[in-house]
Structures are given as C-alpha cells and as structure tokens.
Chains A and B, each alone.
Chain A
Amino acid sequence: MAVSSEETMPDNVMFMKLALQQAKLALDNLEVPVGCVIVEDQAVIASGRNRPTQTRNATSHAEMEAIDKLLEQWQKIGLTRGEIYLKFSQCTLYVTCEPCIMCAAALSIIGIKEVFYGCANDKFGGCGSILSLHTCSSGKRTSDGGSKRKEFKCTGGILALEAINLLRSFYEQGNPNGIVPLSRKPTSLAKEPFH
C-alpha cells in the first residue's frame, strides 16, 4: 500500500478534512467518531458517519450510510443497475479510519473505484490490517481462478493523526457510560497508523 504525502495530494487532504468533519459530528452525537465522504468528479456527492448508538445497529458504519444515500438517490432518478455500477466505479471514498472487514466487502460488492483512509484499524481492518478484501490476493481464489469481488485501490495514512485524536478524545471525554476504561484508549492506533 502506498504511503501518501499530504503535500502532493492537496485534494486528498481537502476531502479527508470533510470526512473528519463528519467524524466530529459523530463525536458530538456520542458516537465513535468515524466519518466519510464519497467523491465523484472532484465533488462530494455523499457523506456518512457512524450511528450505531443511535440505531442500536452495530453495522451502522459511516461507509454504509454514504452508500445507502447514493443508492436511494440514484434509484429515485431512475438509474439502472448497470448505470449505478458504472457510477460507483467512478467514485472515491474518503474515510477517517480504515474500512472494517464488513465495509471493505461492501465496497467491493458495489465496485468502488478507490479508497483513501486516515488511521489503520488494527482490530477489524478489511483493507490490509486483518484481511485484504480490496485485493484478490487475500484468501483462497475460487476454483475457476478468479474472485467474484472487484478490487479497488486503497491508500492509508491521510490525516491519520487527526482521525486518531478524534478517537482519543472520544475515549477520554465522550465515552457515554465510562464502560471502556481509560487504559483501553486507542494507544494501539498510534503505533502503526500508516501503511
């Protein structure tokens, strides 16, 4: 996985800052601060943030929300499945934390073009940390030689520190019930946030 330099990719930084805004919004709502935006033709077309506490659905991740919004929007204007697939194949996702295994699989099912993330997710990461669902090299190939999923490009380390700091502030101040002890704050993230 490529290490990106913020200086040479000002657009990436700009879009990641918008994703971080979504993460802050999650934090304000007592959710684990992870946020994302989806970009098509250099324009943000959808955003999402974590909402598991609000929905009591632990799969309400930022990426899933952004995907849902686009699907609804595109179906409303009458796009066909093929057209929607083509649309997704031109979209780039910016998410503050490496997509989890579930979201990485979802992103390959819809056929996203590319993903940029902030900090690594060394417990659930599906784009290199635990599994590599963005490439076909992970796991066994199917007997006919291919994988049924689509690959996507994935680059980590964009404004990773900001993403980590948000997560930290959640565990130090925003933890609603004090259940996760302070010793559990995400120090592990700080060790190897970049890929």
Chain B
Amino acid sequence: MNGIRDETPTDLLRSWKIVHIPDKPPVSPHLQETVSMLAASIEPKCANLVVRHAALPPVKLNQTAPLENLRHVKRIRRTSLDGGKTQLSVILCIASGDGESNNLPKDVLELVCKYAALTKEEWEEQCRLWPTSFHPPAYNIDGITGFSEEDSLLVYNFMKIAVALAKSGIGVVNAAVIVDPSTCQVIASARDQVQSRNVALNFTSEETSTAEQLEAATMDETTEIKNDQSFLVGCSADESKLPYHGVACLNPLGWLEPQLHSSSDSWHPLHHAAIVAIEKSAARDKHLFPLNVDFSSKDHKVSSLVGSPLKRLKTNTNVKDEVNMNEHIDGFHCDATRPYLCTGYDIYFVWEPCIMCAMAVVHQRIKRVFFAFPNPNEGALGSKHRLQGEKSLNHHYAVFRVLLPELILKDDTDAALTVSPLM
C-alpha cells in the first residue's frame, strides 16, 4: 500500500464522488403518478369564515371520508386570487373512475400525487398540482445525508484498497474489503476466488499501517468536491462496454468458461469476493473472540470475555434492538457480549454485487455498502434488483456508489491509483 501516502487528497476529491443509492429508484418529479380527486372550492367571500375554522373541515373530513394511502396529501389548498383575496379548496374524496366524473364541472376535479415525495425536488413539483407534506426520511446511517471531506477521504482510500486488490492477480476480478469505520481497520478482504484461490493477496496483515496512513491522509489539506455532472456521464458511457469476464458478480456463470490459467484444483463457482471476505471475517471473529460454548448442554453462557474491547461492548447495546427484529430463519443468534457478525461495518466492492453477494452481506449485517462500478445485468443494489429496498428483510444497509474514473482499472501499474481528473 505504498501508493496511499504519496497521493494528495486534493486530487482524489476533485474527481471522485460518493452518491447515495436510495431504496427506491428516483422518479423524475414531473413523471410522478397522480390520482384524480373531487374538490370543492370555497367562495372568496366565505374565506374568512373558513379560515377561522380552518382546522375543522380536514378533521371532520378525515373521519367521514379518510384518504387512505394518501396521507401525504393536504386536505386544503389555499390559492391567492387577483386582488389579494384568498380562495380555499377542500378535497372531498377520490374521483371514481367510472365516467361519472365526466359529467362534473372541470373545476371540481383536481390531480394529486399518488405517493409521498422522497426528495425535496419531488415535493416542490407535487405542490404545483396540489399541496402535499414532505417528511425527509429520518436517516440514522452516516453518510446518507452527505459525507464530510474527512469521511469522503476515508471512503476513497478504502475504495482504492479494493481496486488495488481487484487488480492484484491474474486479470481484473471483483474485490471486497470489510472495514470497521469506527477504527478505520480492515477486518477482512478478498478477491473473487471462483477461478483460483491462490492468487489472492492478503491485505489484512497490513491493516495497522493502512489505518495509520489513512488517518494521516485525512490531516492533509482538502478541497471541495467538484460537482461536475459531465464526470458522471463520462463514467457511465464507458463502463458497460469493457468486458471484465473475470468479475464473478458480473458473470456468475463464468466459472463454466474454459480457463487459460487452468489451476488443477481450488476453484469454486460461489466464491465471489464477498462470500470469501465474509468467511475471513468470521474466521477472524472466532480467532479474536474465542468462545467456550458447550453445545451438548443447554448452558451456553459466555465463559470468556477476554479480548473483548470496550467499543464492541458499546456497539452491542445497539445490537440487541436489532436482534429483536431478527428473523428466525436467518440462522444466527447474538450473544450480547461478543461481536455480532459484521454489525456496524462497511464493505467496499469494485463492482456492484450480484444478488447472491448482496444477500450474503444482508445476512452478515453490514451497515454500509460502497461500490464503484455498476453491474447492469446482475447488479442487486439498483441495477437489476434493489435489495436495499426489500422491506421484508430483517436488516437493511445503506448503499453508496463511489464515482471514479474507469481508467483506474486499465493500468497494470500502481501509478493507476494516482487519480487524475477525467476531463
């Protein structure tokens, strides 16, 4: 990891960018679905009376004619008329779609947006039709509301570790790096091992120095992220063209293809980078936090707390709540006195994971997923599926794409890690 210290964070910030990938695909504000409603206009001369009792009509109407599934729609619209007068309109009910509304005068029909706005832009557009309420999601995962420059740098540097790992063997493959963001420590990392297990480099052994370097990097001077839309376009134009056949998540059936570098043994069709990295993190967990559980009896109290850092104890108080919501079939039980899977950890992918890997990461309770390049045919975090939006799952992570020049994959030398502006 010699490259990290040499680079100025300024260069990174100029051309890289972190984008949150929400639970639902974003809807263009003007393309939002609408519903027809019947509304009654109130004469301007009655306005004063109605305004004084403004609270009454909606309250009563909400009882007698509730707007099921349209709770974001405001009941009353206030319009300023010429001459400074105010007109109020009140929604009565949903217009029936059986043609009856054709006989009604045009001014009693109003269109309202069917779904609550997810973004401020959507909301502003909605209010042009009919006022709605907007409640920004109460996110509690770091980064959804934006990354500080310092945090961005950490993200970029861990993504660089993933990219370096992806390029470190024969051919470019996917790589996964599991990180504890509270300590900036690499917990486990892996390349795809579908074709061969022997080419993997182990970055975990360097975790201490890496963490130090990363911390050092954040001390340096930083500049603002350049909000360059052309960068985004440039990035997506190229990425689907290049064939990265060795990337397991892009090409899950690639294990069947004839191999140039035939390794006689040790290949596995399911050993995508994430699966291997999770396996490594589990092995590390077992090694660092050994438990003496007597499986033959029903007594399974933890008999050893040796080596349990305080910070893990602290995170585990939060873990309990999450465990309460856990599903029985997920197959893991938390012991509140030891690390619980990858709770609180981040994972970095070079490519958007396939559905198998994305679900594995749900099982292992990763908190945030970062990937650099989309996976148009198999991607499970926005491209083909959007697993972060599956409400039935017992655990949800936040997903981010780190936009970076694809150039970074082309060069075989370490110098490719020195990021240069794309344009």
Contacts and interface: CB of A to CB of B under 8 A. Distances in A.
Q: Which interface residue of A106, A143, A174 has the most chain B CB atoms within 10 A?
A: A106
A44 interface: no
Contacts of B341: 56, 58
| Chain A interface bracket (under 10, 10 to 19, 20 to 34, 35 or more) | 35 or more
Contacts of B359: 100-102, 105, 124, 126
A180 B392 CA distance: 18
A121 B329 CA distance: 7
A29 B295 CA distance: 6
Contacts of A186: 328-329
Interface string A172-190: 0011110111001110000
B332 interface: yes
Contact of A59 (B278, B377, B390): B278
A102 B393 CA distance: 12
Nearest to A50: B331
B331 A34 contact: yes
A71 interface: yes
Interface stretch (B42-50, B140-148, B248-256, B404-412): B248-256
B334 A177 contact: yes
A149 interface: yes
B329 A34 contact: yes
A105 B272 CA distance: 12
B355 A71 contact: no
A53 interface: yes
A3 to B, nearest CB: 21
A43 to B, nearest CB: 23
A127 to B, nearest CB: 13
Given A105-B355, A180-B323, A175 B270 contact: no
B333 interface: yes
A8 interface: no
Interface in A82-125: 82, 85, 97, 100-102, 105-106, 109-110, 121-124
B414 interface: no
B120 interface: no
Interface stretch (A13-21, A60-68, A153-161): A60-68
A122 B394 CA distance: 11
Given A55-B282, A102-B356, A102-B363, A109 B270 contact: yes
Contacts of A34: 329, 331
Contact of B324 (A57, A60, A170, A179): A179
A102 B252 CA distance: 13
Given A59-B363, A109-B356, A130-B392, A124 B329 contact: yes
Nearest to B335: A177
B71 interface: no
A148 interface: yes
Contacts of B332: 32, 52-53, 56, 58
B269 interface: yes
A52 to B, nearest CB: 4
Nearest to A149: B252
A183 B157 CA distance: 45
Given A29-B295, A102-B363, A106-B270, A184 B324 contact: yes
14 contacts: A57-B278, A58-B278, A81-B255, A81-B267, A97-B329, A109-B253, A110-B269, A124-B392, A131-B385, A131-B390, A150-B253, A167-B328, A176-B300, A177-B333
The 5 lowest CB-CB distance pairs between A and B, nearest first, are: A105-B356, A57-B282, A102-B359, A58-B363, A52-B332
Interface of B: 251-253, 255-256, 259, 265-270, 275, 278-279, 282, 285-286, 293, 295, 298, 300, 320, 323-324, 326-336, 341, 354-356, 359-360, 363-365, 376-378, 384-385, 387, 390, 392-394
